[in-house]
Amino acid sequence: MRTPNWLDDPVHRAAVSVAASTVLLTLAMVGILSFSNGGNAGVGGRLPAYVFAAALAFVVTLFVLDDPAADGVQIIVAVAGISLGVFGLVALAGEGVVYAVEHPGDVFVPQLLLYIAAAGLVCTGVGVWGLRHWREFTTGATGQEDVE
């Protein structure tokens, strides 16, 4: 008999995804705060890790999206765009972690942290919406063609 896994429940799976995405986006916004305050020392030493994350995203996304029946140009453009997005997100989140550790007084201000977390949550919602409607962006369809 199989033990029930709480991640089998779609609600739990969605909650974990939203929470993880919100934390990641919140850290990325702290990274933006870091760069607006002059940046962190040693970014060049962490850059190879950020590039590796983008390369890993490139390969994984390529395997996921590759379909012999699909347009190859559209696939490689999507893969490149996702990889650049991953690079930016991972770099900003990584620098956000470094900044939070080195300057906790600048980050862990209750109102600021709530505003940044709220913005991360909104970005998560927009991201989920974008993922569910990405075909409308790539094909130019509006979803209103059948409505008269």
Instruction: Specify the long-range contacts of residues 53-62, CB closer than 8 Å, at least 24 apart.
Output: 53/86, 53/87, 53/90, 54/83, 54/84, 54/86, 54/87, 54/90, 55/83, 57/82, 57/83, 57/86, 57/87, 58/82, 58/83
pLDDT tens figures, 128-139 = 888 788 777 766
pLDDT at residue 101 tops 80: yes
Distant-in-sequence, close-in-space partners of 74: CB < 8 Å, separation ≥ 6: 138
Query: What pLDDT does 138 receive?
Result: 67
pLDDT at residue 141 tops 70: no
* Domain ranges, ordered by start, for the chain: 15-135
Query: What pLDDT does 58 receive?
Result: 96
**pTM of the full structure:** 0.78
Confidence of residue 109 (pLDDT cuts 50, 70, 90): confident
For the segment 39-44, the average pLDDT, to the nearest whole number, is 87
